[in-house]
Amino acid sequence: MSESWLPVPIESDFPIENLPFGVFSVERALRRIGVAIGEKILDCRAVADAGWFDDCCERELLEAPELNPFLAAGQTVWRAVRGRLSELLRAGGDPRLRDAGPEHFLIDRVRATMHVPMEIGDYVDFYSSIEHATNLGRLFRPNAEALLPNWRWLPVGYHGRSSTIVIDGTPVRRPCGQRKPPNAAVPEFGPSRRLDIELEMGFVTGPGNALGTPIAADDAREHIFGLLLVNDWSARDIQAWEYQPLGPFLGKSFATTISPWIVTLDALEPFCVEGPPQEPAPLDYLRAGGPWAYDVQLSVELQTARMREHGDAPQQISRTNARDLYWNVAQQLAHATANGAVARPGDLFASGTISGSEPGTQGSLIELTWNGERAIEMSDGEKRTFLEDGDEVTLRGWCEKPGARRIGFGAARGLIVSS
């Protein structure tokens, strides 16, 4: 394990082994690319202006206000830049940053405002957890097979709305739409009464593909920059009335929260593991060599308005792991481009809700409460089936194992405000 000359708390999500990328601003300054290290952000533009990346990449790539030009540069550049950052921050490494005065390059994270780190052209949401798909099948088709015939053959997905992807901490307004109560003769319009979360992970693409040229599953590492946390908020009552026959629309398009830091595949390599067995065997275009699952521990915390008012800490309501996803990121990207569709630098592909098989490992309230039948009891005695105004949800993700430094993703928070 490496050590940095910069003090990094042992419990930090952002040791020198991580070095995730994001976009930040301080006060009214322009947006800049940064890398998280401990409680600080290393200003990549300042490092580029100092000329310390000149043998790694063009300065313009790291002087941009979003990550897209850097993402487009590809894996060789990503690794060269990340390697240089590691050398500048490592104890006994390249002394230029430390000698030049760290205060000119490092910003306290608490002072920074974080932004969506890339311009997102397209957003795809998959349905990759077999436990989640099975649970919803049992809820809504109790007398039929839980999984539809296509589920084990391909990564089911749909195109979401990139314009409503927001960064950690952005309030989420309760959406309005049509809903049809079970015994009503006609639908009604109004605020959702069954507002839910979806605990997901997403990957961000780097170099894309030419129109008509699919990306092979074995080539996915050349096209995927890294992973982040995703909360794809869902209005279950709006979704239930509108989704047939074309799928989700207003019940999903109102907000999607992401964490601000993209953790690179290289940082996650020590935690890359074999995924669950796939039966039947995938078709040839969905076969990727080597392990492709990531051992990422995930949690959901909920804090009600009353808990916040009384100073009560958020309550963990779910804990699960991304390694259990049936369809992995290489298969997702291969399938999304199998027809020749174009992936571009900065596109976001989300996993779909991640659920486990044990109680308390489900990634949505509709599963945790079994469609509202089993309320969650909060620490102050309140009960929740779906979200109420004033509730704040926090997603967290981290990796740890013996012999490796813990790395994390930060948080993806959202506070529900009234319509």
Residues recognised as catalytic: 132
Distance, in Å, from the CA atom of 151 to the CA atom of 275, rounded to the nearest integer, reads 17
Distance, in Å, from the CA atom of 196 to the CA atom of 179, rounded to the nearest integer, reads 15
Nearest to residue 196, comparing CAs of 403, 413, 387? Answer: 387
> Beta strand pairing status for 199-205 and 188-191?
unpaired
Q: What is the dihedral of CA 405, 19, 297, 383, to 10 degrees?
A: 130
* Rg over CA atoms, the chain: 22
Distance, in Å, from the CA atom of 258 to the CA atom of 238, rounded to the nearest integer, reads 22
Residue 283, Cα to own-chain centre: how many angstroms? Answer: 27
209 neighbors 201 (Cβ within 8 angstroms): no
Distance, in Å, from the CA atom of 357 to the CA atom of 182, rounded to the nearest integer, reads 29
The per-residue DSSP string of 227-296 comes to: EEEEE--EEHHHHHHH-TTT--STTTTT-EEE-S-BEEHHHHGGGEE-----SSPPPGGG--SS--EE--
Nearest to residue 186, comparing CAs of 174, 178, 177? Answer: 178
* Residue type at position 139: L
Nearest to residue 83, comparing CAs of 1, 5, 16, 14? Answer: 16
Written as six digits, the tokens of 182 are: 């079970």
Distance, in Å, from the CA atom of 263 to the CA atom of 257, rounded to the nearest integer, reads 16
229 neighbors 395 (Cβ within 8 angstroms): yes
238 neighbors 175 (Cβ within 8 angstroms): yes
> Beta strand pairing status for 256-258 and 224-231?
antiparallel
Nearest to residue 197, comparing CAs of 24, 354, 5? Answer: 354
Buried b (16+ CB within 10 A) or exposed e, 378-412: beeebebbbbbebbbbbbbbbbeeeeebbbbbbbb
